[in-house]
């Protein structure tokens, strides 16, 4: 695109399919299964682990005794080579709890345990459409049933692992500097703080396009509320700052005003899912103003597939420039490339809250979109979590950490930092787990 006087949002890369909330896709909690041994399936079915007393029998003599005494209840028994404990596989149908009780009573046994199961630490929200959100948790599932689109295992931002460290805080405000937000949307209405409309010069920052609503939901939709989608920023608040009109267009002066407003009204993260081709002191000075006030600025790289990162993302020292990846950790073909690219995040067939200006009272829409705008929203949510967890970090440190903790997902083709994906796809697990800044 060749923007002269107008700043074009990059909506060409955003495709909306306004569709009502789809029934029958709820993420119901699975029922707890009961193993065929009379105990809950929270451990390996049919297994017991025996720790012998230090002055008790040897493993060999214990084997002989157990087979003899508990004939019919033990299918196999062996000494586990790493721990030295005895591992029992019970005969199917055995009451494992009763067998455990009997073994504990033996004088040569110090203790008996079920072989409990464990898994990665993960915070799984109960959102209705969470299975559609491959960006947050990608198990290789079909995430877009109507198109039969399937993800690649682990090609996600590790949100569920990251949320075990931080689910954010309502005191951390993400400014959505965009077309506004549908402030009455069911998955956003409890997250909104009063904002401003710089297009119409009033305090009603209502979305009249739909783009800002989708971006806002990905950054910080209300999460674990049983409806809609999960927002990366989980508990973060949202500040709507409308700087783009109903067509997704705006000018640098209006956007600059919005950036300064956000910085002056408590926003810690400024999401700029917009871009123009031209460098100007108007935009740069506003970004510098917000940066000097300690704000973290996140900007979309652009959606025309060129080798030129758009502004403000191209302000390398002020903004985290974000490109878009897909459900297999590949670079989106529309994602702009360049030396300013810091990281990528999912931006291809992403599902989120939707708003149709033609039906302004219908506030339960969710739909699909594409674009670096959506990728940037994921990064803004991630930074909001980081600030809540590590509030003493400077914005410079945050810019470094978001890069250095990314996964170099195209290392087989372009190892290290590159112009396509920068440092790689963001990873909330490494972003939020303990680290040493030295």
Higher pLDDT, 32 or 258: 258
Q: Please determine, for residue 118, whether its predicted confidence score (pLDDT) is greater than 80.
A: no
Task: Give the mean pLDDT of 134-156.
Answer: 95
The 10s digit of each residue's pLDDT in 219-254 is 999 999 999 999 999 999 999 999 999 999 999 999
**pLDDT recorded at residue 15:** 39
* Cα–Cα dist 230/216, whole Å: 11
* Cα–Cα dist 262/239, whole Å: 8
Q: Which two tokens stand for residue 88?
A: 């029992």
Fold of 43-116: Alpha-Beta Plaits (3.30.70)
**pLDDT recorded at residue 1:** 33
**pLDDT recorded at residue 125:** 84
Residues paired with residue 352 on neighbouring β-strands, in sequence order? 367
Q: Which two tokens stand for residue 219?
A: 């950054």
- What is the set of active-site residues? 178, 211, 373
Phi, psi of 366 (to 5 degrees): -145, 140
The residue to which tokens 């990905």 are assigned: 218
Task: Give the mean pLDDT of 105-116.
Answer: 87
* Cα–Cα dist 386/388, whole Å: 5
Q: Structurally, what CATH architecture does the domain formed by 7-28+126-432 represent?
A: 3-Layer(aba) Sandwich (3.40)
pTM of the model: 0.77
For residue 274, which of 296, 238, 242, 239 has the smallest C-alpha distance? 242
* Cα–Cα dist 228/331, whole Å: 27
Contacts of 82 (CB under 8 A, 6+ apart): none
Buried b / exposed e across 125-141, counting CB within 10 Å, b at 16+?
Answer: bebbbbbbbbbbbbeeb
Q: Which two tokens stand for residue 426?
A: 């963001």
Phi, psi of 36 (to 5 degrees): -75, 30
Contact 348, 394 (CB under 8 A): no
Q: Please determine, for residue 117, whether its predicted confidence score (pLDDT) is greater than 80.
A: no
Higher pLDDT, 153 or 45: 153
Q: Please determine, for residue 8, whether its predicted confidence score (pLDDT) is greater than 60.
A: no
The 10s digit of each residue's pLDDT in 271-284 is 999 999 999 999 99
Q: Please determine, for residue 7, whether its predicted confidence score (pLDDT) is greater than 60.
A: no
Q: Which two tokens stand for residue 312?
A: 């403000």
For residue 432, which of 233, 256, 188 has the smallest C-alpha distance? 233
Higher pLDDT, 35 or 172: 172
* Domains of the chain, residue spans: 7-28+126-432, 43-116
Residue 14's H or E segment, with its range, is none
Sign of CA dihedral 343, 349, 350, 353: positive
For the CA atoms of 19, 382, 125, 144, the dihedral, rounded to the nearest 10 degrees, stands at 40
The 10s digit of each residue's pLDDT in 301-358 is 999 999 999 999 999 999 999 999 999 999 999 999 999 999 999 999 999 999 999 9
Residue 309 region by backbone torsions, left for phi larger than 0, else alpha for psi between -120 and 50, else beta: beta
pLDDT averaged over the chain?
Answer: 87
**pLDDT recorded at residue 436:** 54
For residue 178, which of 247, 264, 279, 280 has the smallest C-alpha distance? 247
17-26, 125-134, 245-254: range with lowest mean pLDDT: 17-26
Q: Which two tokens stand for residue 221?
A: 């939709």
**pLDDT recorded at residue 219:** 98
- Helix, strand, coil % in the chain, rounded to nearest 5: 25, 25, 55
């Amino acid at each position: 695109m060749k923007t002269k006087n107008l700043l074009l949002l990059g909506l060409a890369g955003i495709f909306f399919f306004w569709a009502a909330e789809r029934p029958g896709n709820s993420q119901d909690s699975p029922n707890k299964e009961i193993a065929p041994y009379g105990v809950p399936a929270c451990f390996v079915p049919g297994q017991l682990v025996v720790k012998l007393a230090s002055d008790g029998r040897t493993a060999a003599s214990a084997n002989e005794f157990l087979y003899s005494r508990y004939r019919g209840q033990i299918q196999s028994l062996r000494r586990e080579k790493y721990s030295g404990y005895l591992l029992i596989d019970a005969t199917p149908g055995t009451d494992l709890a009763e067998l455990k009780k009997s073994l504990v009573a033996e004088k040569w046994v110090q203790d008996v345990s079920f072989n409990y199961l464990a898994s990665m630490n993960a915070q799984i929200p109960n959102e209705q459409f969470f299975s559609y959100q491959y960006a947050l948790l990608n198990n290789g599932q079909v995430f877009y049933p109507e198109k039969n689109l399937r993800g690649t295992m682990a090609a996600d931002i590790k949100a569920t692992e990251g949320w075990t460290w931080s689910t954010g805080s309502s005191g951390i405000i993400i400014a959505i500097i965009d077309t506004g937000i549908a402030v009455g949307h069911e998955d956003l209405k409890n997250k909104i703080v009063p904002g401003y409309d710089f297009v119409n010069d009033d305090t009603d920052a209502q979305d009249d396009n739909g783009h800002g609503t989708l971006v806002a939901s990905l950054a910080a939709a209300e999460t674990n509320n049983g409806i809609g989608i999960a927002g990366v920023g989980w508990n973060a608040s949202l500040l709507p700052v409308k700087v783009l009109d109903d067509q997704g267009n705006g000018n640098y002066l209006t956007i600059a005003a919005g950036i300064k407003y956000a910085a002056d009204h408590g926003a810690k993260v400024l999401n700029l899912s917009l871009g123009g081709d031209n460098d100007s002191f108007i935009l740069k000075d506003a970004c510098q103003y917000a940066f000097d006030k300690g704000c973290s600025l996140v900007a979309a790289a652009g959606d025309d597939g060129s080798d030129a990162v758009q502004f403000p993302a191209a302000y390398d020292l002020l903004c985290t420039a974000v490109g878009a990846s897909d459900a297999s950790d590949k670079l989106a073909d529309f994602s702009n490339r360049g030396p300013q690219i810091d990281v990528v995040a999912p931006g291809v067939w992403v599902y989120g809250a939707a708003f149709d200006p033609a039906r302004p009272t219908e506030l339960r829409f969710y739909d699909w979109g594409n674009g670096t705008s959506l990728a940037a929203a994921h990064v803004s949510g991630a930074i909001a979590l980081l600030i809540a967890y590590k509030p003493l970090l400077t914005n410079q440190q945050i810019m470094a950490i978001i890069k250095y903790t990314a996964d170099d997902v195209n290392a087989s083709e372009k190892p290290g930092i590159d112009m396509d994906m920068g440092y790689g796809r963001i990873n909330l697990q490494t972003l939020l787990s303990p680290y040493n800044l030295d």
